[in-house]
Amino acid sequence: MPKHSNGFPLRLANLDDVDSILRVERTSYTHPWTAAILKDCIKPGYEVWIVHQPGDSSEIIGYGVISAAAGEAHLLNLCVSSGFRGLGVAAYLLSHLMSRGMLLNADTMFLEVRESNKSAISLYSKVGFNEIGIRRGYYPTHQGVESAIVMACELKLWIE
């Protein structure tokens, strides 16, 4: 798994980044997060990390969101702008977020992913996440609902 981002720098997001993140979010998901949800993640207990263009920290290429508490980390969002996919950016962001989870004393990282999202499931499986359950009808779709696959990774095993 690549631990570099092809030269793209990483930084923590702040409230000034919300509009730029939402531009990527809205072109990436059928049911994107709202500004209120995103703002709610820029506070203690959460971390929003951004990969951006070298030399322009407001030009957002991808972002990932985690929460961590009581020995558990949750991956709440991971998204790469459509023009920058397939370059290893998500793999890089995810390995950074997993390292952050460890530093925040989490033993395990959990996530939910739409069962139709084969590229994300492939990414998570490659990194070491395993399916631990299904939440039926968890996500809305244009036709109705879709199940979530719940995945988990033991962070200590991942680092070894």
Ligand X SMILES: CC(C)(COP(=O)(O)OP(=O)(O)OC[C@H]1O[C@@H](n2cnc3c(N)ncnc32)[C@H](O)[C@@H]1OP(=O)(O)O)[C@@H](O)C(=O)NCCC(=O)NCCS
Alpha carbon of 100 to those of 46, 69, 103: distances in Å?
Answer: 11, 12, 5
Residue 104 zone, left/alpha/beta (φ > 0; ψ -120 to 50; rest): alpha
Residue whose structure tokens are 């962001």: 93
What are 44's two structure tokens?
A: 């203690």
Among 10, 85, 108, 131, binds ligand X (CB under 6 A): 85
Q: What gap in Å lies between CA 108 and CA 122, rounded to an integer? A: 19
Among 6, 27, 57, 119, binds ligand X (CB under 6 A): 119
Task: Return the active site residues.
Answer: 112, 124
Site string for ligand X, 33-72 (x = CB under 6 A): ----------------------------------------
- Among the residue ranges 5-13, 31-39, 43-51, 122-130, the one whose residues contact ligand X (CB under 6 A): 122-130
Query: Contact residues for ligand X (CB under 6 A)?
Result: 28-29, 78-80, 85-91, 113, 117-120, 122-123, 126
